[in-house]
Amino acid sequence: MSRAAARRQRILDAIARSAALARRDPGDIRLIAVSKGRAAGQIEELITAGQRDFGESRVQEVREKWPSLLARNADLRLHGIGRLQSNKAAEAVKVFDAIHSLDRPSLLDALASEAVKADRFPAVYVQVNIGDEEQKGGCAIGKIDELVAAVRTSPLPLAGLMAIPPLDAEPSPFFALLAKLARRHDVEGLSIGMSRDFEEAVMLGATAVRVGTALFED
């Protein structure tokens, strides 16, 4: 087994253990490898190990790095996980299969319009500013209902809610809060959890975890 495969298997085993504790099916949790800033060779090692979902922040980096990888692996799925400007909407709908950072109506309008033009409709997660941090993207908790309703009347599929807890805080209460908000708004998907806290996220309802360092570094 390669080192990349061993790292991936450790993450999958940890997901399975956490899911078992929460009486969940580990098959319901999607592992997204955060490949932003990683070389194509590192990504290819994970692809060979069986990884199929990858997260990127910048459209330009996708354009530079992914065409040859996608040409050889047609079943890969790319997730847009970074803050997205409306003027990048046309490119985003063409390269991403899911976008995890929808945080405002104007971005939804841009994505929906470009999706219709391209006849390509990536699923979107509504990003919530769960810690009410000025420097972070995400809609305010009080605006979730408005944005979720807008997505549901758009041509884009609603994948769920996404959030990143404050870096210096215990993440579990924020994961639990997002899960509660998802239930309140009848949303199933939860994109929560990264390398440092994905096990807690799984126990609190994550359906997608975004793991970078733990997958790419020993």
The burial class, CB within 10 Å (0-12 / 13-18 / 19+), for 70 is: middle
The full DSSP string for 125-176 is: EEEB-TT--TTS-SB-GGGHHHHHHHHHTSSS-EEEEE----TTS-SHHHHH
Q: What is the mean pLDDT of each run of 10 residues along the chain (218 residues)?
A: 95 98 97 96 96 96 94 96 95 97 97 98 97 88 97 98 94 97 96 96 98 94
DSSP structural state of residue 66: S
Whole-angstrom Cα distance, residue 25 to residue 50? 19
The structure's pTM equals 0.95
Whole-angstrom Cα distance, residue 125 to residue 158? 6
